[in-house]
């Protein structure tokens, strides 16, 4: 187990280096010269060159990359050119808010997905299950920037129940106030990601339900609730039965990863985000490649 983990971590290094190069190049390609943000518009060419040299922008690209990487691995993302503040100081408050939104949305969609997904797997032929299937597909097809507009239209404009923007009232900022401002964005994010999660839960659970040991448990007369606990514990590495539809799962992964606010899927933890990031190259069905929803 430990050696497996180490191997994965070692394999991540070249990928991470590649990612860092792409990120670095992307920052270089984006139009706009940082020097222009610092010097006044009428600065002479020699003044510009001076600033450029100060920032190290006159060095070759490869050298700049090595400096940048060296600082990044020490946790120094550099200073903002425009505001003269360390970038980390600017990112952290925003990250806190992102985390709050992510966690709320992920929690909501995870709870719904678990209940709906398990139900659909237990009663795949029922009317309700096909309704849920349709709703999941609707959720997958739901652009969350549009869902947000509808929620604002209904709950802020028409009903006037919840605020349409901001994180707190002017002067306000208590816990209840934050929750009021959290509900709509979290709901928009959760709505767009719950479908993917539901389908993952459903296909995972229905794979587990076909296992021999579940049959054995039923034959033994174990109570359904106890069986459910076993089902949720899951954990069937390399079980082909579990591979219901790699095609859809992949589409789902992508949808989760591509989620507009980049949040819900990521936050929804081991069922989606992290798995997508390390899908093995042979495209092993995501649900089988590791102990399944064990912490459900």
Partner 1 sequence: MSLQATAAADPKTLAAPAARREPSRAAVIFAAFARRKIALAALIVLLVIVFACLLAPWIAPYDPSAGEVTDRLQKLGAPGHLLGTDEQGRDILSRVLYGGRLSLLSGVLPVLLASILGGGLGVAAGYFGGWTNTIIMRALDIVFSFPAILLAIGISAALGPGITNIIISATVVFIPPIARIAESAVKEVRKEEFIEAARSSGASAVLIIRAHILRNIFAKVFVFATSLIGVCLMVASGLSFLGLGVSPPTPEWGFMLNNLKQLIFINPAVTIVPGAFIFLTSLSLNLVSDALSDALELKR
Per CB under 8 A, residues contacting partner 1 are 14-15, 18-19, 22, 26, 29-31, 134, 137-138, 140-143, 145-146, 149-150, 152-154, 157-158, 164, 244-248, 250-251, 253-255, 257-260, 262, 266, 277, 279, 281-283
State which residue, 256 or 292, has the beta carbon closest to partner 1: 256
The DSSP bridge partners found for residue 79 are 86
Considering the complex, what minimum distance in angstroms separates the CB of residue 160 from partner 1? Answer: 11
Least distance to partner 1, CB of residue 92, Å: 19
In the complex, minimum distance from the CB of residue 124 to partner 1, in angstroms, rounded to a whole number: 12
Q: Give the residue among 58, 51, 60, 50 at the shortest CA–CA distance from 81.
A: 51
Nearest-angstrom CA–CA distance, 110 and 92: 26
Whether 196 and 140 have beta carbons less than 8 Å apart is answered as: yes
- Closest CB to partner 1 among 206 and 292? 206
Residue 229 token pair: 């606990």
- For the bound state, the minimum distance from the C-beta of residue 252 to partner 1, rounded and expressed in Å, comes to 9
Backbone angles phi, psi at 201, to 5 degrees: -60, -45
CB-nearer residue toward partner 1: 49 or 90: 90
Q: Closest approach of Cβ 173 to partner 1, in Å?
A: 24
Q: In angstroms, what is the minimal distance from the CB of 77 to partner 1?
A: 17
Nearer Cβ to partner 1 (14/40): 14
Q: Which is closer to partner 1, CB of 31 or CB of 176?
A: 31
Residue 79: phi, psi to the nearest 5?
Answer: -105, 150
Q: Which two tokens stand for residue 206?
A: 């229905």
Tokens of 276: 């997508």
Q: How far apart are CA 106 and CA 282, in angstroms?
A: 28
Q: Which is nearer to partner 1, 33 or 229 (CB)?
A: 33
Maximum separation of any 2 CA atoms in the chain, in Å:
87
């Amino acid at each position: 187990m430990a050696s497996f983990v180490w191997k994965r971590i070692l394999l991540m290094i070249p990928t991470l280096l590649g990612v860092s190069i792409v990120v670095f190049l992307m920052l270089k390609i984006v139009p706009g010269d940082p020097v222009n943000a610092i010097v006044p518009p009428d600065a002479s060419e020699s003044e510009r060159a001076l600033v450029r040299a100060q920032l190290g922008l006159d060095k070759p690209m490869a050298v700049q990359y090595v400096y940048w990487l060296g600082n990044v691995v020490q946790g120094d993302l550099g200073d903002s050119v425009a505001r003269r503040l360390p970038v980390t100081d600017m990112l952290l408050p925003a990250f806190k808010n992102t985390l709050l939104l992510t966690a709320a949305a992920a929690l909501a969609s995870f709870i719904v997905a678990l209940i709906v997904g398990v139900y659909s797997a237990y009663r795949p032929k029922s009317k309700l299950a096909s309704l849920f299937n349709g709703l999941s597909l609707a959720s997958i097809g739901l652009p969350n920037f549009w869902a947000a507009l509808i929620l604002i239209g209904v709950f802020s404009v028409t009903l006037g129940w919840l605020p349409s923007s901001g994180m707190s009232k002017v002067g306000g900022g208590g816990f209840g106030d934050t929750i009021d401002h959290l509900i709509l964005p979290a709901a928009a994010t959760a709505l767009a990601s719950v479908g993917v999660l539901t389908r993952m839960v459903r296909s995972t659970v229905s794979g587990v339900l076909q296992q021999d040991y579940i049959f054995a448990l039923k034959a033994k007369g174990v109570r359904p609730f106890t069986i459910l606990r076993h089902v949720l514990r899951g954990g069937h590495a390399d079980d082909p039965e579990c591979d219901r539809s790699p095609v859809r799962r992949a589409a789902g992964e992508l949808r989760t990863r591509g989620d507009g606010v980049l949040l819900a899927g990521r936050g929804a933890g081991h069922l989606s985000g992290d798995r997508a990031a390390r899908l093995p190259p042979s495209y092993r069905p995501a649900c089988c490649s590791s102990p399944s929803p064990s912490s459900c």
